[in-house]
Amino acid sequence: MATIKLEDLVKAYDNVEVLHNLNGNIQDGEFVVVVGPSGCGKSTLLRMIAGLEKITSGKISIGDKIVNDLEPADRDIAMVFQNYALYPHMSVRQNMGYGLKIRKIDKQEIERRVLEAAEILGISEYLDRKPRQLSGGQRQRVAMGRAIVRDPQVFLFDEPLSNLDAKLRVQMRLEIRKLQKSLNVTSIYVTHDQVEAMTLGDRLMVLNGGVVEQFGTPIELYDNPETIFVAGFIGSPSMNFIPVECTEKSVSLCNGKKIKKSLKYSGKALMGIRPEHLEEDKKGNIRIVVQMVEQLGSNSLLHGTLEDTDIDIVASLSGHVTAEAGSIFSFNVQETNIHVFNPETEKRLG
């Protein structure tokens, strides 16, 4: 096991920077998820840590060693890829043990480690099968088994579940979390799926355009997003945003309605409210003109626009809700659930 330290990391291709002065400390045994939209630099960062991409400038330390110039094989890491990267002509047993074989580990030790990992992952009965004889979930377990037998200091996961169907993704991410907890190996996991990130990570590093927007626990990011991007990216359905005019005691919506909110700020701003924090109230100041209702079983998503505007709003209501298009629902929101952002800096206010 080991800590990982990222110091002022920069990655550039020719004259184009894709990662900008990135910093972060990952603790021994911690599970950190790097999350963000496609093209934000997630996989590039992971490959730099693995040694598969050269660092333009900055430092990466694993344990007490700077690894910038070390070959991937010398970094004591194991990587699980999106496409499994299994050898089709080898059995599961051979795939799992191949990395140890080329390191000239004793055959009996290889067998012991393979059997132990197979037992942990529930794939003991598949050891003599070829990858083509396995399902996607079974292949991913084999790929994880190949990483486990290495007994590395660090696990790196590059969107390992993106090829699986939705139900299997849920099952596999729970298995990955339990596995990481039981092995207590420092792990970095890359995904674009914020629900997956919230489920798995001890902490989340949110990347946007090669910059760390926020690095904290899932609840910290959900309750106290530092930027408009984090507020909109974390949480499902996404946060609603409404242009407002602030005084130190209230915010005025763009349709003239006022909501109580104490702030040390006056001027134009963007107010954020999560759909699940809108509370139905016939006298409420947030009035939504319904366009459609999305039934999800335990709850319903009401899609519409803020009255007298064309601003889209989503409200999450418990149970089964029916409503005609054009009908109006009124809501209130607790002051503590109102987020206010500076529209120019995109930073949180107050």
Residue-wise DSSP of 60-111: EEETTEE-TTS-GGGS-EEEE-TT----TTS-HHHHHHHHHHHTT--HHHHH
Q: Please state the φ and ψ torsions of residue 173, each to the nearest 5 degrees.
A: -70, -30
Q: In which band, very low, low, confident or very high, does the pLDDT at 46 lie, cut at 50, 70 and 90?
A: very high
Which amino acid, 262? S
Mean pLDDT of 152-159: 92
Binned at pLDDT 50, 70 and 90, residue 94 comes out as: very high
Percent of the chain scored above 90 by pLDDT? Answer: 69
Q: What is the mean pLDDT of residues 157-173?
A: 86
For 152, the token pair is: 């590395």
Beta carbons within 8 Å of 116's beta carbon, 6+ residues apart: 149
317 pairs with which residues across the strands? 300
pLDDT of residue 48: 96
pLDDT of residue 161: 86
Q: Which two tokens stand for residue 211?
A: 């910059």
Q: Tell me what pLDDT residue 264 has.
A: 85
Task: Tell me if 257 sits within 8 A of 288, measured CB to CB.
Answer: no
pLDDT confidence bin for 173, thresholds 50/70/90: confident
Mean pLDDT of 195-223: 95
- pLDDT at residue 1 in the model: 62
Q: What pLDDT is recorded for position 340?
A: 94
What does the pLDDT average to over 54-64?
Answer: 95
Confidence of residue 64 (pLDDT cuts 50, 70, 90): confident
